Amino acid sequence: MKRVSFLLSVTALVLSIKADARPGDPNQVGDEVIARQRSNLEENTRGKGFGPQSPRDIDSVVGNNQVTFAAAPAYSEMNLCNIHFHKNAEHAGGQYKRYAGNGDGQGYQTGYIYSGKLTKREKEPLTRKVCPGKRGSLQSGDTIEIHYVHSSARVKPGHTLGACLSDSIKNPQLRVEAQVMVLVNDANAMDFLGLTRYDMKNGFYRALTIPNNTGTPVVYSGSTTGPGYNEVASPFQVTWSVRPNILKVNIETVGKWCQGNAFDEDHAHGVRNLIVNPELLSPIK
């Protein structure tokens, strides 16, 4: 009965978001591909004791996962270990409720995008590539979700989640401060280079300018993300802090960051399917 209920909920979700998906995109897979991935995720996690997963709809407090763990300390009491971003928002809710479409089924062009409107000037496309990767580059009007990853281990900022682990502590507490941004062709918009500055402060590596003016963050227990976990669960426990409002960022500054940074990041990552199975979500209190 639970499996039938889950499949019905997936079908309802697909129908509810289909109207917002971009029609006629040859790079999008069919709804049945995403539904099958979600079904496989449910099957591969049933009865195995996996903890709550991410990403999720931050406007919904529903969750039945029984695995609990202590919330990570405030990010000011942890070490910044990595900064990276995803093309389109992995989370849904707040000001990014519009579904971008199914994408290629491997995380590219899936996810959620800014629900508001931009001016013609803000959307004016650039003639050069920004943060090009195997699946294209960024353009004015695109939505990204940036992750400031923090660890309780004594580590320093570096590449990938591996920078958050150490030989001394293999299971550190992890916290991700998340902010959804919209890339605009506007020199007066926020500077991405400034938003990613960090330094040593009070004994910790600290991101110095994590946004504090984009709404009260939704804090919940979850996991690491990324399209590699579309059909299997992430075993990492993460305290998430996700801001509901977007931030407009100058796309030129994002391009400069991709040309060289301490995290060896030069392109946008794909997104994991939104987690909709209540058995894989923590309750938000």
Q: What is the pLDDT of residues 226-281, one digit of tens each?
A: 999 999 999 999 999 999 999 999 999 999 999 999 999 999 999 999 999 999 99
Q: What is the pLDDT of residue 170?
A: 86
Structure tokens at 147: 């992750």
**C-alpha span between 28 and 12 (Å, rounded):** 19
Nearest to 247 by CA among 278, 211, 283: 211
Helix 2-18 / helix 31-45 crossing angle, nearest 10 deg: 150
Q: What is the pLDDT of residue 26?
A: 62
Domain ranges, ordered by start, for the chain: 2-280
Q: 174-184 and 247-250: which strand pairing? A: parallel
Mean pLDDT across the chain: 92
Q: What is the pLDDT of residue 25?
A: 59
**C-alpha span between 251 and 265 (Å, rounded):** 16
Q: What is the pLDDT of residues 65-117, one digit of tens each?
A: 999 999 999 999 999 999 999 999 999 999 999 999 999 999 999 999 999 99
> Which amino acid is residue 264, in one-letter code?
D
**C-alpha span between 128 and 115 (Å, rounded):** 26
Share of the chain above pLDDT 90, in %: 88
Instruction: Name the pLDDT band for 14 (thresholds 50, 70, 90).
Output: very low
> What average pLDDT score do residues 162-169 get?
94
Backbone angles phi, psi at 208, to 5 degrees: -85, -20
Burial of 184 (0-12, 13-18, 19+ CB in 10 A): buried
What distance lies between CA 252 and its chain's CA centroid?
21
